[in-house]
Amino acid sequence: MGLPEADNETLARVLQFAISPAVLVSAVGLLLMSATNRLGRAIDRCRSLGRELANPAAAGRAALREQLDITHKRAHWLQRCITLFGASLFLSCLMVFLLFLKILAGWPVGGLIVGAFALDVLALMAGVGCFLRDLTLGLLALDIELSAHLKAP
């Protein structure tokens, strides 16, 4: 049993409805790329701090440990962020698939489309929240690193 042949108007409608999730996929893809880059930098910084702490003669060990703790937390927040952005991408693709099923095959999946959209937006919002938490922690680690240089004489 194949899909029925769609007329030009139906195809145009399908493509019109599919554009919004496609734009969302593109935007979330950029956020995902930024988050994965930040995760790589956080991991590299953790390794660097770990090497510094391995040196028994390292100065400012307490500050280094505090930076390492914060940077480690950042990596975990970024992992959550990436997972949520990935879920958002999946849900956007699912919406496009469900739209095709609804419009071209006539399947009654309108409720699933609305549910996928709601979950997509929630995942995106939560991912942005995790991303903002990472930014806050990154600045906190920077403040610790520069505290000796920023103090007034």
What is the per-residue pLDDT across 113-123, written as a single tens digit (0 to 9) for each? 999 999 999 99
Domain count, the chain: 1
How do residues 99-109 score in pLDDT, each as one tens digit? 888 888 889 99
Q: Is residue 142 part of a domain?
A: yes
* Residue 54 located in a structural domain: yes
| Closest C-alpha among 109, 94, 107, 108 to residue 21 | 94
Is residue 13 a part of any domain in this protein?
A: no
Question: Would 10 be classed as within a structural domain?
Answer: no
Q: d(Cα 105, Cα 14) in Å, to the nearest integer?
A: 11
The model's pTM is 0.83
Residue 59 domain flag:
yes
> Is residue 36 assigned to a domain?
yes
Q: Quick check: is 1 in a domain?
A: no
Domain-located, residue 14: no
Tell me which residue range forms the domain holding 29.
19-147
Rg (CA), the chain: 23
